[in-house]
Amino acid sequence: MRDAEKAETILKAQILQGKYDLAEGKGEMFFDKLVAVFVKYGEINRIGWHNDKYTVEEIKRHNSLYD
C-alpha cells in the first residue's frame, strides 16, 4: 500500500510541475459558449437544470462584462 501512495505522490508532483502538458491544445472557451454547453448538458443529464440556468442568468445579469 505504501508503494502505491508513494507513486501517487510522485505523479501528483509531476502533474503540478507541468510535466505532462495535460491542458495543451484545449484552447480558450468564452463564457457564453461555456454557458451554452453547461446548460445543454444540464438539460440532458440533470433534473434541476432549471436552477443552473437561473444561476447562470443571475451571474450574467450582475456582471457588467455581459450586458
Q: What is the mean pLDDT of each run of 10 residues along the chain (67 residues)?
A: 85 78 63 83 87 85 65
Based on the structure, what is the number of domains in the chain?
Answer: 1
What's the pLDDT score for residue 1?
Answer: 66
How far is the first Cα of the chain from the last one, in angstroms, to the nearest whole number?
54
pTM of the complete model beyond 0.75? no
Domain for residue 63, yes or no? yes
Write b or e for each residue in 16-33: b if 16 or more Cβ atoms lie within 10 A of its Cβ, otherwise e: eeeeeeeeeeeeeeeeee
Asked if residue 60 belongs to a domain, the reply is yes
Question: Would 44 be classed as within a structural domain?
Answer: yes
Q: What is the pLDDT of residue 29?
A: 64
For residue 56, the model assigns a pLDDT of 84
Provide the pLDDT for residue 22.
63
Q: What pLDDT does residue 64 have?
A: 61
The reply to whether 61 falls in a domain is yes
Residue 15: inside a domain: no
Please indicate, yes or no, if residue 4 is contained in any of the structural domains: no
Task: Detail the DSSP E strand segments found in 1-67.
Answer: none
Please give the pLDDT value at position 19: 74
